[in-house]
Chain A
Amino acid sequence: MTSQISSGPLSGLKVIEFTDEIAPWAGKLLAEMGADVIRIEPIEGSKTRWYEPFLGDIPNPEQSLFFWHYNLRKRSVALDIQSEEGKTLFKRLVAQADILVEDQPPGKMADLGIGYANLSSENLSLIHAAVTPFGQSGPRASEPATDLTLLAGSGPAWSCGYDDHELPPIRGGGGQGYHTASHWAVISILTAVIARDQIGRGQFIDVNASAASNVSTEGASYTWLVAQETVQRQTGRHAGVRPSSPTQVQAADGRWINSGVPARQGKDFQNTYDWLEDEGLLDQFPEAPLLQIGGQREGFLNLGAISSGEDEEGAAIFAAGRAAMVLLIKSLPAYEYFTKAQERGFQCGIIYSPEEVMQDPHFVDRGFPLDIEHPELGRSFTYPGVPYKFLGSPCEIKMRPPFLGEHTRDVMIDLQYSTDEIQMWIDSGYVLST
């Protein structure tokens, strides 16, 4: 396998990925859009090959499900970057690439003799994106960090958690601090690809993971920037300067619903009344006449007039609308509530666990669950698919994640290394080929 099947909007772009754990998601996003991504691994393999979960719970560097997810459709070249031979191979790969994405600590690439100055002298078109916790320089550049400490120190955790502030702030699950940094790496890389045609050269991109989370906190940042006010965390809903009403309600089957924005306009109240009637719940809801009164109102309730006490009837209508929603949620199984509410025009969501998303009829209908064949294991596995449909250049993903060093030999042959030379390098431990 010396070249990729051309598909996806980025087909034709060559990417060298030299990452540890922060930025493999950036390589994955480029790969799924059709770029040819070669992941450079050390001879012993990326440490993320030892991240759980494992297939069958048996530790095996070729069967880390974590590694699989982040490396779908990439190729793997294993080399010893400390050796002169390994460095030479690395430089030759980068010399013919469009993009290098790496997440080494600041200064490490230069210390190895493969910093931007060195690499760009051989390839002026190179776009070199370096993703680090705190940027290449600055007062915090050498601080150690993990996804948890990034999310805690850079804003997200302050806004996430529970109404009860005796409980700790929560770090959202799934490595989202690293993902946010990787999203910015991809945005800036693609921007530089377009700029390259204009300025005739590539450039160096400094991606700061902490800064990425800092500017991804919505109201927490701009409420401070604009008004010097501080938001407070609340269970399952927006942190706010002033408390808001709960939005998560447990349905009849024990699962939870996010009830969304409550009814605010006349037709919503009548709609709610009709729904209670259809479910046979009117006799359990003495406030029902308020919904009918609300149904007579034109346009939206004025929430300002309600909270200031100017519109007492409006306040009662609004409260009845909310109480009716809670009754409906408690009376119906979560999925039934979710679909019925949405079909009636009420914005709401069922709180799914990740695996439930993959079994939902809508996501299945759109082809989001992706079956990838692992021929060596004699079976296929379901991965999350691509979030965008490029209707004019569909992303075809059929390649399973690579074995360690699976493509070393092919890539060296492409670079005109002789068979003898390749064997000698393998025997000397400069590269690994499987």
Chain B
Amino acid sequence: MTKALSNLRICDFTGQLAGAGATRHLAAFGAEVIRIEDPVNEGRWDILRGNAPFVDERRGIDLGGAFNNHNVEKKAITLNLRTEKGKQLLTELIAKSDVVSENFSAGVMDRLGFGYEDLTKIKEDIIYVSNSGFGASGPYKPFKTWGPIVQAVSGLTFSSGLPDQQSAGWGYSFMNHTGGYYMCIAILAALIHRRHTGSGQWVDLACTEAAASLTGPAILDWSANGRPMRRNGQPDSNHNDWPRMAPHGIYATHMPDTWIALACRNDEDWTKLRNLIDEPALYDQQFDGLDGRIEKQTELDKHVSRWIQHYDQQALYQLMLDQGIPCAPVRTPQQRVDQDPNTENWGLWPTVKHSQMGQVRVDGLPVHLSETDWYLENGAGCLGEHNEEIYGEILGYNSQQINSFKDQGVI
């Protein structure tokens, strides 16, 4: 199958998930993504390098499971930018690249001598995409973030939780994934613009702004109606405001910490659920319409909870599904990775070959393209694994020269 992005070369400084996640998708579609790491600290700027989870008892800088997941199909080279020769090699590589990508704190590339102005002197139509917590301008430009901080400052943490409790927030870096998606979109859009106009550009992506754009109706409710989300009874994110539905929530089944979600989209779903529960009190007219169900939501939830708590999760899921009521078990990782025919059928957890870890399963892509689909076969590069290939085949150095770069601490 043809690779969609095989004409594309990316000079990639990204790390963690917010950055590495972006170029991962481009690599899966065939782009040559060259990941540049510091040989002095063994690429540890990316805290995932060499960290858990591990496939076996072995430990080491090349054996981190998360790092492998986020860097599949990329080339890994080392380059010491403290040295003049290192800067020269980077200059040569940028001259042969389409995109420079990074997710350092704002201003780091400038200090290295490779800010956007410098890059355009090396290659006029270069596309430079930076992804930082607060963007490259404004009073918080120097502030540091990681996923949970981005989520806190942007309103996403606040929007997730139960009334009368502190925020539940997100139990993982939702914005590292999503910031990576935005970064990927920014790179692709800038490439399309370059094809139309011949011009490159700098895209300044602020992860907190990406996050804040995901709470739009709440923002408009405040700006148009003067109603803040910080008010009594809010947030209440297992219930639903937009659109309103009731019942709508996550309920305990008969085993500890085993849950099921259900959503009655309309009176028809409700009628089906009511017939299953078959509790006389629920046939009261007050529950017939959505307004009544919302008003009496607490009472309604008590009945639904009382009914569900005697059920086995899977049995109830099947029972409601047979009626066409939207529902889902709160699936554990094992349930959705190893026991879900939908993810298996999709090929969602492909196995890649890593030169030290061996065969490892990773996240696949949730899209299939009929003519240029993705592929994931190779794991993340070990530290400096592709030095010979990149410095040799792309920059034209012979093995003697490459060895001397190593001896001088340049790579």
Contact = CB atoms under 8 A, between A and B. Distances in A.
Contact of A368 (B2, B212, B225, B332): B212
Which 3 residue pairs across A and B have the least CB separation, nearest first?
Answer: A392-B201, A153-B328, A211-B366
A195 B372 CA distance: 7
Interface stretch (B79-87, B177-185, B274-282, B384-392): B177-185
- Give the size range of A's interface with the partner: 35 or more
A172 B327 contact: no
B4 interface: yes
A68 B172 CA distance: 30
B149 A357 contact: no
B270 interface: no
- Most interface-central of A57, A229, A258 (chain B CB within 10 A): A258
A257 B153 CA distance: 9
A176 B177 CA distance: 12
Contact of A167 (B55, B160, B162, B223): B162
A256 B227 CA distance: 20
Contact of A173 (B228, B235, B252, B334): B235
B221 A389 contact: no
A217 interface: yes
A280 B204 CA distance: 40
B20 interface: no
A384 B216 contact: yes
B173 A385 contact: no
B173 A363 contact: no
Interface in B138-168: 138-140, 142-162, 165-168
A102 B312 CA distance: 36
A70 B186 CA distance: 19
A236 interface: yes
Interface string A123-146: 000000000001100111001111
A218 interface: yes
A230 B330 CA distance: 14
A236 B157 contact: yes
7 contacts: A53-B225, A162-B168, A180-B178, A193-B192, A353-B230, A389-B203, A393-B190
Contact of A183 (B6, B151, B181, B368): B181
Contacts of A180: 177-178, 181
B206 A384 contact: no
Given A190-B192, A209-B366, A257-B152, 14 more contacts: A10-B192, A139-B345, A144-B325, A147-B240, A172-B174, A195-B5, A206-B370, A210-B343, A222-B66, A223-B52, A224-B337, A260-B149, A352-B158, A391-B201
Interface in B1-28: 2, 4-8, 17, 25
